[in-house]
Amino acid sequence: MKGTRAKMMTGLASMLLLLSGISSAGMVDYFTDNGYGNPVATIQHPRAEYYNGKTYIAYQGPHEDPYVCAYDHAAKKWSGPVKAGENPMGKTPDPVDPKGPDNHGRPALIVDGKGYIHLIFGGHGGYPRFGKNELGTPGKGKQTHVVTSRPEDISSWEIVENVDPFGTYSQFVKMDDGDIYLFYRHGSHQSDWVYQKSTDNCRTFAPPVSVLKHKAQESDPNLHDAWYAWFENGKGDTITASYVYHPCRLKGHTKERYNGYYMKMNCGDESWENANGNVLALPVTKEYADQNTLVCDTFTTKVKSNHGTCHVDDEGNPHLFFRQQGQVRYFRWLGNAWQAPVAVPGGDGDMIVESPKVVRMLLSQGNSGGGEVCWWKTTDGGLTWGKESCLISSPDSSYAASALVHNAHPDGRMVVSEHNRAQNHLYRKLFLLGDSGPVGRPEEGASNLGDCLKNLEAVQPGPKPDKAGKKNRNKSGEEGDGDE
């Protein structure tokens, strides 16, 4: 009887799996395989948001176009990917050389107060044909805003012409009162960082307001002060900003970035202040930032420093990290000074501030030639860190991290893309990582490349930048400043 009952239960379980369209043998740990180039990064954020039981995810797919998937946590069911728009910087066919994709037009995603899903994508400074850029220099692409036709439904999208086309590194910040801020760099390298504010669920935006000022140095007109910044919710009605300095040379350009800075915005009167609470004058210049918002000076020692992320604890004190020398260096505000930096192994990622002294970082890092994404934790305010669980690991691949999912569900903390060294193409598998690891999907739904791989033979490896422009769908041939 026990054997017969066991067989019956096994048969019933198999039938239920078949009826639900899921086969245990057909499950994979990625939710799609059609990410392209560098599909995700921390600087365009949020990458995803948990809203009303579902996690909505945006990423860069074929031809650098924006795609969206959704995961229903209760039903354990995926939908998408759905193409949400067209990136004007995309090329046909997709290049196989890593220098081919521009990657700056990756989408940022937010869900408004009525459940409509918004994407900003496609910009790397904006083509000169869009007119004069009063706050920076032109580049290519067009910062584009699209929204779903219906709330909580990714199947149909509409273009909304209400944001400045001269943008890149688009970032949404949604406040508790429903206001939504869009931060971005207003052009190519030599451009201000600005924000536009919406009080009506992104249906309209106020004109751009400059926060960080670009300018040529008086002593050397070839050298322009430029920035890379990261904006996020602070405590209450505030927004934090952490940023690094880029000495941008018109001739002999490099990707060098130095120092680390912090300040915050009081949204009620749109004033800004530093960690000491001193009111700041906008837009912030390099000299002013060095005097008023500096967290760490690496320019003097020529230690390169890249942007990280920033969050605050319940007391409103900021916790942040910058990427330096192959590690992340963690800082926290002690009330009157910045704690000495502590290095944590890792390439990039994000963090959760549970209390003033308990912080968890979710970081991508290398491991014996491969890669992994693991939790790190401190319980003494960052003086020491311990490695906790790894959510994904591979001996053959590395992983690129997004910022944490906005308002994340425990089963969906972060989106990562897999970069396999053995591949001869730039299509990437994408994973939604939760506390128990990747959220699986039936292979049939996760396989979305179609004929993309069949077309690779027509693509010549290693395209020259001037030749790559000939394949650009917009035929502009304008060059940008490379990826992160």
- Total domains in the fold of the chain: 1
Q: What is the pTM of this model?
A: 0.90
Q: Is the pLDDT of residue 154 over 90?
A: yes
The one-letter amino acid at 246: H
Band (pLDDT 50/70/90 cuts) for residue 453 is confident
Domain range spanning residue 315? Answer: 25-471
DSSP 269: T
478 domain residue, yes or no: no
Report CA-CA distances (Å) from 123 to 145, 225, 292, 419.
10, 21, 31, 24
Torsion of CA 247, 98, 89, 39, to 10 degrees: -90
Query: What digits encode the pLDDT tens for the residues 262-305?
Result: 999 999 999 999 999 999 999 999 999 999 999 999 999 999 99
- Contact (Cβ atoms closer than 8 angstroms) between residue 371 and residue 398: yes
Q: Is the pLDDT of residue 469 over 50?
A: no
Tokens 């994407």: give the residue. 119
Q: Is the pLDDT of residue 222 over 50?
A: yes
8 domain residue, yes or no: no
285 domain residue, yes or no: yes
**What's the sign of the alpha-carbon dihedral 331, 334, 336, 340?**
negative
DSSP 125: B
Q: Is the pLDDT of residue 320 over 90?
A: yes
What local confidence, expressed as pLDDT, does residue 450 receive?
Answer: 85
Residue 410: CB atoms within 10 A of its CB come to 10
- Contact (Cβ atoms closer than 8 angstroms) between residue 330 and residue 318: no
Q: Is the pLDDT of residue 481 over 80?
A: no
- Report angle CA 83, 184, 351 to the nearest 5 degrees: 85
Nearest Cα residue to 80 out of 103, 48, 40? 48
What local confidence, expressed as pLDDT, does residue 457 receive?
Answer: 57
5 domain residue, yes or no: no
Active centre residues (catalytic):
104, 169
How far apart CA 272 and CA 279 sit, in angstroms, is 6
The residue-averaged pLDDT of 160-172 equals: 97
Give the DSSP letter string of 315-383. T--EEEEEEETTEEEEEEB-SSSBPPPEEEE-SEEEEEE-SSS-EEEEEEEEETTEEEEEEEEESSTTS
What local confidence, expressed as pLDDT, does residue 2 receive?
Answer: 34
12 domain residue, yes or no: no
What local confidence, expressed as pLDDT, does residue 451 receive?
Answer: 80
419 domain residue, yes or no: yes
Mean pLDDT of the chain: 90
Q: Is the pLDDT of residue 346 over 90?
A: no
Quick one: what percent of the chain has pLDDT higher than 70? 89
Nearest Cα residue to 202 out of 185, 232, 181? 181
CB-facing half-sphere around the CA of 333: CA atoms within 13 A: 26
**Residue 53 maps to which CATH number?**
2.120.10
What local confidence, expressed as pLDDT, does residue 3 receive?
Answer: 41
How far apart CA 381 and CA 224 sit, in angstroms, is 37
16 domain residue, yes or no: no
* Contacting residues for 289 by C-beta, under 8 A, at least 6 apart: 212, 245, 261
Query: What digits encode the pLDDT tens for the residues 76-120?
Result: 999 999 999 999 999 999 999 999 999 999 999 999 999 999 999
What local confidence, expressed as pLDDT, does residue 135 receive?
Answer: 97
Which of 155-164, 435-444, 457-466 has the least mean pLDDT?
457-466
Q: Is the pLDDT of residue 25 over 60?
A: no
